[in-house]
Structure 1
């Protein structure tokens, strides 16, 4: 059914291609999920979850490894982990914005549920610390590469799609840390990791749905997804700009929004690695925390670009110049999600008790009373660090008020006048603005080893003189690493094989075609009997 949601606008070629790509990748994930349950069925002799739970501890270690790896690949494909994420930047831009909000906010999160259920419930949660390390590493790589490729995007919906990869990675960092602590016999820290990962799952569902609805509002008003054609929209669409800003602050993990709370919990869980008696993990988890910090900084830069280029300065496109605020029902949807971003940020005591019940079912320990202190107004992690979200919000308001008061007292007597921006004697135009391309250029150069860009420069010279250029053409293209070195070669191999097979088997006799179909059916029946 999700395929039909993606290809809603099926009359477009790029939408049909994205739908086919999505269908192929999700079928690959489904195949591995089926393999997971078939192996569990062979051991439990039943498809009941209760039978899986009771017989999971009897699995041989190698067979448990097969189950875990199949679940990681299957559910990871559904969630969009690196390198199985390639369908996300195609499917999300192709789908309508409300469908993108549903897919990113809800549908890919079911894969997180499936992975947690298989590891902690069916395999017992004490299977091996190697599984937790694998999830942690995959999550770290997904978070970092997701935000790095998001920074290079000028298509607002492709940018948000890559941020789904990033946030799935952040969720898996919390879950992976919980798996490691569970394997080493630290149930309280394992519970904290699970709670942090699940909290970020909820938070991401809220602020990513808000951002996709915001991108849909921009598309509705400007008829384009290209941020280079936006600009000056805050004056024309103030409510959309406000709601998009709240979503941007939330996904950047800035206080006092919900993204800050869950990422802070994941940070604290990773810092508590010193309690594990393993030097490798004592090094690995703090490195993961450092990568999470880098990811947060890049996410902040990305949404400074997305909001600034889209809503500030002058309009760069004709549609942006004549854009109007979206209808009230669209604003109500965004407003409700923006309010939830603030409520889940200021009131973690509303969500953590419910998440604690889930984690307690997996690790057997309740930690809500130790995490929520001061009657729920503060968060504390294993007597290691504390933060009060309401107190932090009050402090930010007080500091802002003090700053405003100082500005009024010191500058209130100065005469001021409103005038247009000084442009060195020239009239200011949109061509003078800082573009999305220019904003991303320093980061593009800094991480050029990862991006491996292709630069193409062509010059057309004047006929009168070969020293003066008439026209220059510059193209700076980035092909994602895994698409260039993994998927494209595999696709080319299958295309060559299919062409050869077609050339050898193409005939004009119907009975021979029916013979091929019958032979293929026999092979399938014999392989699954």
Structure 2
């Protein structure tokens, strides 16, 4: 039975964590742990894709609270996310076998890595609020421990602190949301919550709390401040899991609450996810475009892609509320398709960043360059991931984003004028984000791998090991397959769309030539195979014509600058130069960019200096004042530690009287 197989594998993952704790001195402990994780994640993936005779499987374990127990459930939605999580887990564990040779403190990672995988899986299978919240906190604490793997670095300790605070804040919001859903009766199993009647104000409150709780874990702006700190601090395979899998667990939680537990939606439910999703997409890509830290660039890019997913989910809610089943199914399918796609290509990119870091000891792309010569395999795979995340055909990123835009083009059918005005504005924001995203990854790949080395690195660059290359190549193959044959994945997602929005896209397997048509072939369609064939024909045809008819053969010459040979790599286009137009046009509004030019006077021999200061307005104007207020209050309350026994008794008595008065009123 798939559900029992999944629960057994999750228990085994916890057992692997315990094994790592008690056998930490073994020289081969890393390989044992990561290979065990590969096998267990494969079994969990199989449990997710096994055809089930019934759509829903449930069970109850005699654990947790005695009168509630722990309820577990697998349906089409949880099976999809189970497959996404464990596919990412297989790839990350395979990559980690080679990456583990470079880990300085493996026992800071090994006990928590299988526990992190187990926590994510339990969240997806949970069928009551108690199990969901316990698994959510377990996942958060395990990932927090992994963020602090390199705890000797002060910046990593700050990242862990901010992450723990945001995780606690999100968990509090979810606790309040489930408390409102359970009501005074305290029926916290999801089946009872589904059957209960809900007042409109209560549903709106729960939706807002769920968006805060899940959005803080997913990295939805303005709750994203932890993500650019935590992802670079964690080991690269953990960063890939946090970005490719953990953020998707948060998406799953939002879908479960908004599309399942709350019942039929109102049209305004879609406004918040669309608004915050569009803001996240634009903020994320703007900050990604100006980053010099390669892993921080990828972290901000995750914020952008999570924004795209929430825009699609908001559209699905709006269409569902108005009884437009097919457009709702299109938006919902596009959201899940992008969830799957992002888990693939973002894992490739984090693996590539880890390979660059191991090979050079550098994450600052301003100090890199020319790595395509020393790391050709890594460069090719990183390029493939960059093409996919830039939404360029024929890879998978294009298909899901194209489907989101197709759903946006159906928005004139919505009757509410607020949505008629909002959705086109969201579409323009996504279009701008898509263009900036392509520029961001042109910059990331070009500066890192092309040109000449801009500075000497602590290590001699070399290509990644076979395990790392294999994990990246496998994921890139899946990106290509999902881009060329998207109809197979769309038809796989359609049962979930039918259950949660009441409609499905047309059966794509019945369309000729493996094309996909979101609504009907007469409106719009896309054929990845034909696009791929055209790209290959154009590329090889152009190469043949140039080689055959060009009067001179290929020749090499030294690098030059305005016609003069220039041996210095400093004359190359830098990452800051590439981002300068965006920084100057949008930087003042988006991230308070300031440029200060120190130009020496005539006759002075000192060099000119250009200093650029960039701030996060959301952190400076929202989180920093809150932090100062908390610290100030804590400092003021610190005096309570030095009261006498009589003063403590008086304080308790006063509090008791105050509470009795409140109850009486």
Offset from partner CA, 1:130-180 (integer Å, 9 cap, x none): 110111111111001100011110000110000010000001111111111
Give the Cα separation in 2 of the matches to 1:178 and 1:104.
23
Normalization by structure 2: what TM-score? 0.74
Confirm or deny that 1:21 pairs with 2:162.
Answer: yes
Confirm or deny that 1:32 pairs with 2:173.
Answer: yes
Q: 5 Å matches for 1:180-219?
A: 180-219=318-357
Q: 5 Å matches for 1:481-496?
A: 481-496=617-632
Residues 1:232 and 1:69: Cα distance change in structure 2 (over 3 Å): same
Give the Cα separation in 1 of the matches to 2:539 and 2:297.
31
Tell me, yes or no, if the aligned pair for 1:68 and 1:119 is still in contact at 8 Å.
Answer: yes
Q: 5 Å matches for 1:72-87?
A: 72-87=211-226
1:7 aligns with one of 148, 154, 174: 148
Aligned to 2:297: 159
Tell me, yes or no, if the aligned pair for 1:273 and 1:282 is still in contact at 8 Å.
Answer: yes
Confirm or deny that 1:475 pairs with 2:615.
Answer: no
Give the Cα separation in 2 of the matches to 1:352 and 1:228.
40
Offset from partner CA, 1:210-249 (integer Å, 9 cap, x none): 1001100010011121001110000000000011001000
Normalization by structure 1: what TM-score? 0.92
Give the Cα separation in 1 of the matches to 2:198 and 2:650.
40
State the 1:372 CA deviation. 5.0
Give the Cα separation in 2 of the matches to 1:138 and 1:517.
44
> What secondary structure is seen at the aligned counterpart in 2 of 1:318?
coil
Tell me, yes or no, if the aligned pair for 1:76 and 1:111 is still in contact at 8 Å.
Answer: yes
> What secondary structure is seen at the aligned counterpart in 2 of 1:386?
coil
State the 1:53 CA deviation. 1.2
Judge which range, 352-361 or 215-224, deviates more: 352-361
Confirm or deny that 1:133 pairs with 2:291.
Answer: no
> What secondary structure is seen at the aligned counterpart in 2 of 1:385?
coil
State the 1:277 CA deviation. 2.3
Confirm or deny that 1:118 pairs with 2:257.
Answer: yes
**Alignment length (residue pairs):** 516
Give the Cα separation in 2 of the matches to 1:260 and 1:477.
34
> What secondary structure is seen at the aligned counterpart in 2 of 1:145?
helix
> What secondary structure is seen at the aligned counterpart in 1 of 2:245?
helix
Offset from partner CA, 1:483-519 (integer Å, 9 cap, x none): 11111111112222222333x345397x699989999
Unaligned runs of 5+ in 1: none
State the 1:386 CA deviation. 0.6
1:173 aligns with one of 289, 292, 311: 311
> What secondary structure is seen at the aligned counterpart in 2 of 1:418?
coil
Aligned to 2:412: 274
Aligned to 1:323: 461
Give the Cα separation in 2 of the matches to 1:262 and 1:519.
61
State the 1:407 CA deviation. 1.5
Residues 1:491 and 1:374: Cα distance change in structure 2 (over 3 Å): same
Unaligned runs of 5+ in 2: 1-141
2:634 aligns with one of 498, 523, 526: 498
Aligned to 1:439: 578
> What secondary structure is seen at the aligned counterpart in 1 of 2:203?
helix
Confirm or deny that 1:294 pairs with 2:432.
Answer: yes
Residues 1:311 and 1:136: Cα distance change in structure 2 (over 3 Å): same
Aligned to 1:97: 236
Give the Cα separation in 1 of the matches to 2:633 and 2:296.
32
Give the Cα separation in 1 of the matches to 2:461 and 2:646.
60
Aligned to 1:69: 208
Offset from partner CA, 1:85-112 (integer Å, 9 cap, x none): 0000100011111100010010111111
Residues 1:28 and 1:416: Cα distance change in structure 2 (over 3 Å): closer
Q: CA RMSD in A?
A: 2.6
Offset from partner CA, 1:437-473 (integer Å, 9 cap, x none): 1110011111132222133445677xxxx86252444
Offset from partner CA, 1:331-390 (integer Å, 9 cap, x none): 111111111111111111221122111111112323241x55524711112232111111
Residues 1:158 and 1:129: Cα distance change in structure 2 (over 3 Å): same
Residues 1:133 and 1:429: Cα distance change in structure 2 (over 3 Å): same
Give the Cα separation in 1 of the matches to 2:467 and 2:649.
58
Tell me, yes or no, if the aligned pair for 1:229 and 1:315 is still in contact at 8 Å.
Answer: yes
Tell me, yes or no, if the aligned pair for 2:488 and 2:509 is still in contact at 8 Å.
Answer: no
Residues 1:362 and 1:445: Cα distance change in structure 2 (over 3 Å): same
1:421 aligns with one of 537, 545, 559: 559
Give the Cα separation in 1 of the matches to 2:600 and 2:643.
52
Tell me, yes or no, if the aligned pair for 1:29 and 1:74 is still in contact at 8 Å.
Answer: yes
Aligned to 2:642: 507
